[in-house]
Amino acid sequence: NLSGLDLRAEIERLRKERNAVILAHYYQKPELQDLADFVGDSLELSRKAAETDAEVIAFCGVKFMAETAKILSPNKIVVLPDVEAGCSLEDSCPPEKFAAFRAAHPDHIALTYINCSTEVKALSDIIVTSSSAETILSQIPADQKIIFGPDRHLGGYLSRKFNREMLLWPGVCIVHEAFSETELLKLKAQHPGAPIAAHPECPPTIIDHADYVGSTSGILQFAKTMPGDTLIVATEPHIIHQMEKAVPNKTFIGAPGADGNCNCNICPYMALNTMEKLYIALRDLAPRIEIDEQLRLDAKKSLDAMLAMAS
CB proximity list for 210: less than 8 A, separation 6 or greater: 196, 197, 198, 202, 234
DSSP letter, residue 10: H
In angstroms, give the least distance from the CB of 192 to ligand 13P. 28
147 phi and psi, to 5 degrees? -95, 130
Residues numbered 253 to 272 that lie near ligand 13P (CB under 6 A) are none
> How many Cβ atoms sit within 10 Å of the Cβ of residue 281?
26
93 known member of a binding site: no
Provide the 3-class DSSP secondary structure of residue 243.
helix
Judged by beta carbon distances under 5 to 8 A according to partner kind, the member of ligand 13P, ligand SF4, none in contact with residue 129 is ligand 13P
For 289, other C-beta atoms within 10 Å of its C-beta total 21
Binds 269: which of ligand SF4, ligand 13P, none (CB < 5-8 Å by kind): ligand SF4
In whole angstroms, how close is the CB of 293 to ligand 13P at the nearest point?
A: 26
216's contact among ligand SF4, ligand 13P, none, with CB below 5 to 8 A by partner kind, is ligand 13P
> What is the CB neighbour count within 10 angstroms for residue 106?
7
Shortest Cβ 130–ligand SF4 spacing (Å): 9
Give the residues lining the site for ligand SF4 (CB under 6 A): 27, 62, 87-89, 115, 173-175, 201, 236, 267, 269-270
- Which of ligand SF4, ligand 13P, none binds 113 (CB below 5-8 Å, type-dependent)? none
> What count of other Cβ atoms lies within 10 Å of the Cβ of residue 48?
20
Residue 174 binding target from ligand SF4, ligand 13P, none, CB below 5 to 8 Å by type: ligand SF4
- Number of residues engaging ligand 13P in binding (CB under 6 A): 11
What is the x/- site pattern for ligand 13P, positions 160-189, by CB under 6 A? -------------x----------------
Q: Where are the beta strands (DSSP E) in 33-118?
A: 38-40, 56-60, 77-79, 108-113
Q: In terms of CB distance, is 157 or 269 closer to ligand SF4? A: 269
Q: Is 87 annotated as a binding residue?
A: yes
- Residues 44, 50: Cα–Cα separation, whole Å: 10
Helices 275-284 + 7-17 axis angle, to 10: 30
Contact of 24 with 32, CB cutoff 8 Å: yes
Contact positions vs ligand 13P (CB under 6 A) = 41-42, 115, 129-131, 173, 199, 201, 215-216
Q: Summarize the annotated binding site for iminosuccinate as residue ranges.
A: 25, 42, 113-115, 130, 199-201, 216
